């Protein structure tokens, strides 16, 4: 075989090996800051950092998020029947100068409305607002001459049953108790508010409520501490939009014993790229040097990986390998000690029988 033929065969073999390696390797991790990327990434492709944060898109509610609802306007649909703890606005003309009737009055748990020491109480539970007006006029007529009364509903006791904390169930709904259930999963806060108000429209006239997320439990990032022998520790933390690498480490009280300063973020690649996106972190630079270049803003789904210190890993490995040997030596020593004990006991016994 000539030299040219050998060179050609070598090139062909190398080409096949490269193709096979590429076919089995698949997609590999890449470093956004690798110098092999030429030209440099455009500014819009740079990951957000401590001094260059981005606003996250509108938050979509998912289970098991926690929502806080507050009633702004809840006026029951007519005809309304007065209930306990309702607040009525009552105005009356020709009232006593030192006892004016121009205030808010609450319906007590016994169903009575207390108009003051000079006028007494009137029972209003279960009455409509028109009936309450007549009942108050009759009561005031015992003292006043032809009083004219106006009654308006200022607040219903039912608003206290709307205000509160609501857990989004696995089915994606929140339970509004006697007002039914509302599906809020996958909705933004504004969309959830409209859905809740639509549900309450069956019971109230033009209801208005405010909706806030009290617990961000569905949007998370993960902190992974490597442990070669003890196993890795995975901690999930809720994300609200402004967490950085230092925020994550500070929330956990700093690096664990045995952790190294070799840290990076594994971030799902955008779109259908299908590869890993690795963001290396210069821990010493962002802590001791005050650099913000690699103090990245964390995004939902990020994995902050903290590798194990090499010396600690080696020590743990040596301990794992030598531990069985020490155990075997300990068992052997225990056995030898036991045998010696039996021998000593036997000699003492024989000496006793001989009278020695």
Residues 6+ away with beta carbon under 8 Å from 229: 313, 316, 317, 319, 320
For the chain, residues with pLDDT lower than 50 are 3-4, 6-8, 10-28, 30, 32-33, 35-39
Check residue 40 and give its pLDDT: 56
Check residue 184 and give its pLDDT: 97
Q: What is the CATH number of domain 220-311?
A: 3.10.560.10
Check residue 329 and give its pLDDT: 64
Structure tokens at 114: 């207390």
Q: What are phi and psi of 234, to 5 degrees?
A: -115, 125
CB 116 within 8 A of CB 95: no
Rounded Cα–Cα distance for residues 282 and 57 (Å): 28
Instruction: Show the DSSP H helices in 252-309 as ranges.
Output: 283-287
C-alpha angle 8/9/13, rounded to 5°?
120
Check residue 341 and give its pLDDT: 64
Angstrom distances, CA of residue 231 to CA of 119, 249, 312: 77, 19, 14
Check residue 312 and give its pLDDT: 61
In terms of Cα–Cα distance, which of 230, 292, 214, 224 is closest to 252? Answer: 224
Check residue 259 and give its pLDDT: 83
Same fold, 66-73+159-215 and 220-311: no
Q: Can you give the residue ranges of every domain in the chain?
A: 66-73+159-215, 81-155, 220-311
Domain 81-155 of CATH type 3.30.1950.10 = yes
The CATH architecture that domain 66-73+159-215 belongs to is: 2-Layer Sandwich (3.30)
Rounded Cα–Cα distance for residues 201 and 209 (Å): 11
What is the edge-to-edge ordering of all strands in the sheet holding 30-31? Answer: 30-31, 276-282, 259-268, 303-308, 220-225, 233-238
In terms of Cα–Cα distance, which of 171, 106, 92 is closest to 138? Answer: 92
């Amino acid at each position: 075989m000539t030299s040219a033929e050998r060179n050609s065969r070598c090139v062909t073999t190398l080409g096949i090996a490269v193709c096979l390696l590429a076919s089995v390797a698949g997609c590999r991790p890449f470093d956004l800051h690798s110098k092999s990327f030429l030209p440099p990434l455009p500014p819009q492709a740079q990951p957000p950092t401590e001094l260059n944060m981005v606003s996250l898109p509108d938050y979509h509610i998912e289970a098991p998020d926690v929502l806080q609802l507050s009633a702004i306007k809840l006026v029951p649909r007519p005809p309304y029947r007065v209930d306990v703890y309702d607040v009525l606005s009552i105005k009356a003309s020709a009232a006593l100068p030192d006892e004016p009737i121009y205030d808010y009055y609450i319906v007590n748990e016994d169903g009575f409305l207390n108009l003051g020491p000079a006028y007494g109480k009137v029972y209003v539970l279960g009455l409509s607002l028109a009936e309450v007006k007549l009942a108050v006029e009759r009561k005031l007529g015992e003292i006043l001459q032809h009083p004219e009364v106006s009654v308006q509903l200022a607040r219903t006791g039912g608003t206290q049953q709307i205000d509160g904390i609501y857990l989004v169930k696995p089915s994606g709904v929140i339970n509004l108790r006697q007002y039914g259930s509302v599906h809020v999963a996958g909705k933004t806060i504004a969309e959830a508010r409209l859905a809740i108000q639509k549900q309450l429209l069956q019971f109230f006239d033009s209801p208005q409520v405010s909706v806030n997320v009290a617990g961000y439990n569905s949007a998370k990032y993960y902190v992974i501490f490597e442990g070669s022998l003890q196993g890795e520790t995975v901690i999930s933390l809720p994300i609200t939009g402004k967490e950085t690498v230092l925020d994550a480490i500070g929330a956990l009280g700093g690096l664990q014993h045995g952790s190294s300063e070799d840290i990076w973020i594994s971030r799902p690649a955008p779109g259908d790229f299908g590869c890993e996106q690795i963001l290396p972190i210069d821990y010493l630079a962002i802590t001791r040097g005050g650099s913000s270049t690699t103090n990245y803003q964390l995004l939902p789904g990020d994995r902050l990986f903290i590798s194990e210190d090499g010396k600690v890993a080696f020590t743990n490995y040596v301990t794992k390998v030598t531990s069985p040997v020490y155990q075997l030596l300990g068992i052997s020593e225990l056995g030898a000690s036991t045998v010696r004990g039996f021998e000593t006991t036997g000699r003492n016994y024989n000496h006793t029988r001989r009278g020695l």
